[in-house]
């Protein structure tokens, strides 16, 4: 039955599927978050994350099948609009968020409304919204804003609009603002695109709608870009507004004609990003530490795990260069889609909301092999969000890719398979894609078997931290925990100097140099001096000459079993007597006050026994420090070698934060030098 003649039934089915397809995710979300209130983020939730991820996968499977059916039999314009509206409203009803970005937007707007800069190091407002944003980011201050001033202005307006409803009202207002941008996006598509199939490809992608309902400001950026294509006269201004939301909108500026309007738009964008440029030039500082542990969950991340970030970046640039040369003979639409697919594989992180960037390139000609592969990439991108919902974040950029290789394969292999099956008639394409598929299948297993990861209590023959891959944390060998008030200090804590010449040897072994002899053996220092050799018998007329016994050498302490690597000791100020049960950081020990790019950073933190988690906040990363025993945390970390030169030879504040099981926190900060 055709859709345009007697096709009301299929179109109606599409409308209901796009609305009711959200039932699995909604039922699971309300079961996990039954108390209402503000939408809650779900990250590193373990079994709860598994349930939420499976429900989301079921919903995306239903909607993905409906999306493919709509591409085969495009709906009419009224049915398309009804399906878009129903799907967006159902997605807005989700009480669980797989990304905390919308809380960061609200936090930036809150800073702006309090007269503080979201780009700098201004302190957080002491209100409920800032506290909710910190809670949504797992107890961390949201990262420094990297968006344009228009994005901050939109977030501030949404904060004002939803202020009457408290935190829940503000977050819903932020998500509603993104949904309004999606409405403008759909209106521009209906005006620009004539093909019903392309319209469906643009507007009905379920990952796009879900990402917009989570509140991502990519919708506003894309709405301004599409609005710019609807008019020639105001195009420079609209493109400038898009770039003032997010900088990636600058990629479409090649469509502008050179002249005074373009120069004025460029000047407007440059002025808008001056505050962010000043903040970046001032270095990461402590405010940037809220960025949390960055993860590279991608093929690029797997390469970075094994070979380092610089070789992985070189591979990504090479891929983009080869793609730029290889797509020259394709049609204009296929050329853009093919290059966008190569760029997708070159991203350190292909987050689901990046589907808003690639779907327009595929929607121009959704039947081409490159467009199909690009659409497959968008439909499988939620695997990234499911991984975050289940697993905790990796402690470093370089080690993150090896944690979940199966999820990486689930996200990146299907586009290659789609491209292979769609291009079977071209022998060269088949050969190249077969090689790429084999490499994609082998990389996860190789990374899983070779990538280092933090290990508790390694054996004494653990390799030196400096031999680890850059950015990879390695657990530090630790002394046994104190047995009580009368316990003896460990060799790494106390070093006894040798006694001066002529000192009387002690009859007890040194505490800092335990003897290697069995307990029943006498201590070396208590051994009597060796007997003097017998003198030859002189003639009777000559009296015997006394020979003094040889002087015993002074006892020398045996070398310590574990060298003391700590040369920088931080003793926080005394804890007030009013908080005897609070979390306390007793001492922080660092290998050196000067840390070098590519060099080791060895940290040991001694805390009160009720502390369950400690992390180091340094240079834009949160680095969890493993616990080796109650009150003792230690980590050896190799600094990345590719730190930009303008960040070197400078002093930074390092923050060590400790938390108890009930959420109480304390921290101590101290300066360190980052050298070449």
Q: Specify which of 123-132, 200-209, 423-432, 618-627 reaches the highest per-range mean pLDDT.
A: 200-209
Residue of 458 and 47 predicted with greater confidence: 47
CA distance 556 to 548: 23
**For residue range 224-274, what is the model confidence (pLDDT) as tens digits?**
999 999 988 888 999 999 999 999 888 888 888 888 888 999 999 999 999
pLDDT at 461 over 90: no
**pLDDT score of 287 more than 60:** no
- Contact between 366 and 359 (Cβ < 8 Å): no
- Coil vs helix vs strand at 153: helix
pLDDT band with cut points at 50, 70 and 90 for residue 391: low
Other Cβ atoms within 10 Å of 22 Cβ, number: 28
* pLDDT at residue 345 in the model: 86
Which has more pLDDT, 566 or 514?
566
Place 348 in a pLDDT band, splitting at 50, 70 and 90: confident
Contact 327, 339 (CB under 8 A): yes
pLDDT at 293 over 60: no
Residue range 630-658: average pLDDT?
78
Question: Domain-by-domain residue ranges, the chain?
Answer: 8-98+166-290, 296-450, 465-478+563-675
- Per-residue pLDDT for 570 more than 70? yes
Is the CB of residue 387 less than 8 Å from the CB of residue 236? no
pLDDT reported for residue 184:
93
pLDDT of 440: 52
Most confident of 178-182, 410-414, 416-420, 493-497: 178-182
3-class SS letters over 534-596? CCCCCCCCCCCCCCCCCCCCCCCCCCCCCCCCCCEEECCCCCCCCCCCCCCEEEEEECCCEEE
Q: In this structure, what DSSP letter does residue 670 have?
A: E
Contacts with 329 (C-beta within 8 Å, 6 or more apart), sequence order? none
Percent of the chain with pLDDT over 90: 22
Give pLDDT, residue 116.
86
Band the pLDDT of 3: cuts 50, 70, 90: very low
Sequence-distant (≥ 6) Cβ neighbours of residue 666 within 8 angstroms: 582, 583, 584, 585, 657, 658, 659
pLDDT band at 579 (very low <50, low <70, confident <90, very high): low
Q: Listing from the earlier edge strand, what are the strands of the sheet with 650-660?
A: 594-596, 665-675, 650-660, 611-618, 621-625
3-state secondary structure (DSSP) of residue 658: strand
pLDDT, mean of residues 362-379: 88
pLDDT at 282 over 50: yes
Q: Report the alpha-carbon distance of residue 385 to residue 349 in Å, rounded.
A: 11
- Say yes or no to pLDDT of 333 above 50: yes
Q: Is the pLDDT of residue 288 over 70?
A: no
Q: Residues 6 or more apart from 135 whose CB is under 8 A from it?
A: none
Q: In the predicted model, what is the mean pLDDT of residues 578-589?
A: 78
pLDDT exceeds 80 at position 324: yes
Choose the weakest-confidence range: 298-312, 452-466, 659-673.
Answer: 452-466
pLDDT tens for 531-543 read: 444 444 444 444 4
Lowest average pLDDT, out of 563-567, 611-615, 632-636, goes to 563-567
- Say which range, 16-20, 155-159, 190-194, has the weakest mean pLDDT: 16-20
Rounded to the nearest integer, the mean pLDDT of the chain is: 74
Residues 6+ apart with CB under 8 A from 477: 457, 458, 460, 462, 562
Hey, how many other C-beta atoms are within 10 angstroms of the C-beta on 9? 10
Per-residue CA distances from 192 to 188, 195, 229, 254 (Å) = 6, 10, 8, 19
Report the SS3 class of residue 116.
coil
Name the class of domain 465-478+563-675. Answer: mainly beta
Q: Please state, in angstroms and rounded to a whole number, the distance separating the CA atoms of residues 552 and 534.
A: 18
Percent of the chain with pLDDT over 70: 68
- Cβ atoms of 590 and 566 closer than 8 Å: yes
Q: Is the pLDDT of residue 437 over 70?
A: no
Q: Check pLDDT > 60 for residue 452.
A: no
pLDDT beyond 60 at 471: no
Q: Residue 501 above 60 pLDDT?
A: no
Answer for the pair 161, 200: CB distance below 8 angstroms, yes or no: no
Confidence of residue 578 (pLDDT cuts 50, 70, 90): very low
Q: What is the DSSP letter of 519?
A: T
The contacts of residue 475 (CB under 8 Å, 6+ apart) are 454, 455, 456, 457, 458, 462, 626, 628, 634, 635, 636
pLDDT for residue 616 = 82
- Is the pLDDT score of 344 beyond 70? yes
pLDDT of residue 667: 83
- pLDDT class of 488 with cuts at 50, 70, 90: very low
Q: What is the pTM of this model?
A: 0.64
Q: Which residue has the higher pLDDT, 673 or 449?
A: 673
- pLDDT band of 392, cuts 50, 70, 90: low
């Amino acid at each position: 039955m055709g859709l345009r003649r007697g096709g009301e039934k299929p179109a109606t089915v599409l409308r209901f599927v796009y609305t009711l397809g959200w039932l699995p995710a909604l039922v699971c979300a309300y079961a996990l978050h039954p108390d209402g209130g503000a939408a809650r983020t779900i990250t590193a939730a373990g079994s709860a994350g598994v349930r939420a991820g499976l429900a989301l996968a079921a919903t995306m499977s239903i909607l993905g099948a409906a999306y493919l059916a709509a591409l085969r039999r495009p709906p009419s314009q009224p049915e398309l609009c009804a399906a878009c509206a129903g799907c967006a409203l159902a997605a807005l009803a989700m009480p669980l968020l797989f990304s905390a970005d919308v809380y960061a937007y609200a936090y930036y707007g809150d800073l702006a409304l309090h007269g503080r800069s979201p780009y700098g190091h201004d302190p957080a407002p002491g209100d409920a919204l800032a506290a909710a944003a910190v809670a949504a980011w797992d107890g961390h201050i949201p990262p420094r804003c990297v968006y344009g001033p228009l994005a901050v202005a939109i977030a501030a307006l949404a904060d004002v609009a939803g202020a009457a409803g408290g935190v829940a009202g503000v977050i819903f207002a932020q998500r509603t603002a993104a949904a309004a941008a999606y409405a403008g996006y759909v209106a521009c598509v209906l005006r620009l695109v004539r093909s019903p199939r392309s319209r469906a490809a643009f507007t009905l992608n379920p990952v796009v709608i879900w990402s917009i309902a989570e509140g991502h400001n990519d919708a506003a950026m894309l709405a301004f870009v599409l609005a710019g294509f609807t008019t020639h006269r105001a195009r420079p201004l609209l493109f400038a507004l898009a770039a003032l939301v997010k900088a990636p909108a600058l990629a479409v500026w090649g469509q502008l004609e050179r002249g005074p309007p373009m120069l004025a738009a460029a000047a407007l964008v440059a002025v808008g990003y001056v505050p962010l440029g000043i903040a970046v030039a001032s270095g990461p500082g402590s405010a940037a530490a809220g960025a949390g542990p960055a993860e590279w969950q991608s093929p690029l991340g797997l390469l970075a795990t094994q070979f380092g970030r610089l070789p992985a970046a070189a591979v990504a640039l090479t891929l983009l260069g080869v793609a730029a040369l290889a797509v020259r003979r394709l049609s204009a639409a296929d050329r853009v889609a093919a290059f966008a697919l190569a760029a997708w594989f070159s991203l350190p992180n292909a987050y689901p909301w990046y589907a808003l960037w690639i779907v327009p390139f595929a929607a121009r000609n959704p039947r081409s092999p490159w467009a199909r592969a690009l659409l497959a990439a968008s439909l499988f991108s939620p695997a990234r969000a499911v991984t975050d919902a289940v697993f905790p974040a990796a402690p470093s950029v370089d080690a993150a890719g090896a944690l979940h290789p199966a999820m990486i394969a689930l996200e990146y292999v299907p586009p290659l398979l789609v491209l292979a099956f769609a291009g079977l008639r071209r022998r060269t394409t088949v050969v190249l894609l077969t090689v790429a598929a084999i490499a994609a299948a082998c990389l996860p297993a190789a990374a899983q078997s070779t990538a280092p990861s933090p290990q508790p209590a390694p054996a004494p023959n653990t390799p030196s931290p400096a031999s680890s891959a850059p950015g990879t944390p390695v657990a530090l060998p630790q002394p046994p925990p104190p047995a009580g008030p009368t316990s003896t200090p460990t060799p790494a804590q106390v070093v006894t100097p040798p006694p001066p010449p002529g000192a009387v040897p002690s009859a007890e072994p040194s505490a800092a140099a335990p003897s290697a002899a069995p307990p029943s053996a006498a201590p070396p220092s208590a051994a009597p001096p060796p007997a003097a050799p017998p003198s030859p018998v002189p003639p009777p007329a000559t009296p015997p000459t006394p020979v003094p016994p040889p002087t015993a050498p002074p006892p020398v302490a045996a070398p310590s079993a574990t060298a003391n690597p700590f040369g920088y000791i931080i003793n926080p100020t005394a804890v007030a007597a009013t908080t005897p049960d609070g979390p306390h950081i007793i001492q922080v020990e660092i290998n050196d006050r000067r840390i070098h790019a590519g060099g080791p950073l060895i940290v040991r933190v001694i805390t009160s026994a009720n502390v369950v988690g400690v992390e180091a906040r340094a240079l834009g990363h949160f680095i969890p420090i493993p616990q080796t025993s109650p009150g003792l945390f230690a980590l050896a970390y190799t600094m990345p070698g590719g730190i930009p030169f303008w960040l070197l030879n400078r002093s930074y504040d390092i923050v060590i934060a400790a938390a108890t099981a009930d959420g109480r926190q304390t921290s101590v900060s101290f300066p360190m030098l980052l050298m070449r």
